[in-house]
Amino acid sequence: MAALKALFSFDVAPDYYLVRIVGVIVGSASTIRPQVLAIACAVCLVLLIVEAALFGMGIGHY
Amino acid sequence: MTAARRAEWAWIPEKPDLFRGPAPAPLLAPTVRWDANFYLAIARSGYPERRTDGGPVYAVAFFPLYPLLVAALDAVLRKTFWSAVVVANAFALVAALLVFQLGKTYGSTGRGLWAALLFLVAPGSHFLSLPYPESMFAAFLAAALLSLRKEEIGQAAVYGALASMTRSAGVVVAACLLYVAWQH
């Protein structure tokens, strides 16, 4: 239970989230409207750039 | 592997975010951080032996399939860092294609494309291009789920086993197999 608690309290490294979301992504893409998906993609892209920059600079965060 | 070479790759507890071995190319240096150090060290010199002081051997928490493939490519290219990045990015491409195929089974080609796009722009997706096993894991997981959709249970089990050799979270495929078994 501690692992699940850590996951949902955002207390694990970012790479742990990535490996758990393949199914969620496919499910979202098959049920959510394309307009909403486009907005989600844009927001994700901004967050991805931030995450990549933090990683490249060696700034760890949870 | 000589003792000097092993020491060169030794983990430095006070500097977990710095690469302590021979310097990577400047282009790759920002990608070699945290867990990447462990995977590269395992690819170069295998898992370390038990410590004489009884302390923890952190490398055993890192699963073997990714460093194994990196070591195999490194044997050909003789460039460990580039080998690690090439393996990760090749599997990222495969994973995106499999997520596309998986998405397509739930609807149209457009849905598959949205799924692949979401996968590639997810906020943690930079790990797919780094010397980490995330892309390899995602590829095996997507392949297992795709096999389950096609009711190819044996194939799904093989991909699940490969995913479990990549990351501990691969055990989730066993849960999927049990769900499919329960449905039947």
Residue B28 has a pLDDT of: 85
> Based on the domain organization, do B124 and B49 belong to the same domain?
no
In a domain, A36, yes or no: yes
Q: How far apart are CA B168 and CA B136, in angstroms?
A: 13
The answer, yes or no, to whether residue B11 has pLDDT greater than 70, is no
- Boundary of a domain, candidates B49, B79, B109: B79
Q: Which domain holds residue A7?
A: 2-57
Sort out which chain B residues have CB atoms less than 8 A from A14's CB and list them: 123-124, 127
Over the stretch B106-124, which tens digit does the pLDDT of each residue have? 888 999 999 999 999 998 8
Angle between helices B109-121 and A34-57 (to 10 degrees): 20
Determine, yes or no, domain membership for A62.
no
Domain boundary (B79, B109, B126) is at: B79
> What is the tally of structural domains in chain A?
1
Indicate the Cα dihedral angle B78, B82, B88, B93, nearest 10°: -110
Residue B108 — φ and ψ, nearest 5°?
Answer: -95, 175
Of B114 and B55, the structure prediction assigns the larger pLDDT to B114
Cα end-to-end distance, chain A, whole Å: 19
Give the residue carrying structure tokens 């975010």.
B17
pLDDT of residue A12: 67
Same domain for B135 and B47?
Answer: no
Output A30 or B115, whichever has higher pLDDT.
Answer: B115
Facing B103 at nearest CB: one of A15, A19, A30: A30
Domain of B66? Answer: 3-79
HSE (side-chain half, CA atoms, 13 Å) at A59: 6
* pLDDT tens for each residue of B121-167: 998 899 999 999 999 999 999 999 999 999 899 999 999 999 999 98
What pLDDT does B182 receive? 85
Mean pLDDT across A19-29: 73
Q: How many domains does chain B have?
A: 2
What's the rounded Cα separation, in Å, for the pair A13 and B124?
10
The pLDDT of residue B1 is: 47
d(CA B12, CA A55): 19
Q: Taking the model in full, what pTM does it have?
A: 0.84
Instruction: Report the pLDDT value the prediction gives residue B135, as an integer from 0 to 100.
Output: 95
Q: Domain check: are B126 and B89 in the same one?
A: yes
**Which of B58, B79, B100 is where one domain is finished?**
B79
In this prediction, residues B17-44 reach a mean pLDDT of 79
Do B49 and B95 sit in the same domain of this protein?
A: no
Give the pLDDT confidence score for residue B37 in this predicted structure. 86
Residues B17 and B70 in one domain: yes
B46 and B92 within one domain = no
Based on the fold, state whether residues B118 and B55 are members of the same structural domain.
no
Q: Average the pLDDT over A41-56 and give the result.
A: 90
Cα angle at B166 between B161 and B168, to 5 degrees? Answer: 85
Helix (H), strand (E), coil (C) string for B5-59? HHHHCCCCCCCCCCCCCCCCCCCCHHHCCCHHHHHHHHHHHCCCCCCCCCCCCHH
Contact list in B for residue A47 (CB cut-off 8 A) is: 123
Q: Please tell me which residue of chain B has the smallest CA distance to A28.
A: B115
Nearest CA in chain B to A49: B123
Q: Are residues B118 and B137 in the same domain?
A: yes
| Cβ partners under 8 Å of residue B10, min gap 6 | B20
Q: Using the beta-carbon criterion (under 8 Å), do B134 and A25 form an inter-chain contact? A: no
Percent of chain B clearing pLDDT 70 (strictly above): 88
Displacement of CA B68 from its chain's centroid (Å): 11
pLDDT for position B59? 85
Tell me if B122 and A21 make a contact (CB, 8 A cut-off): yes
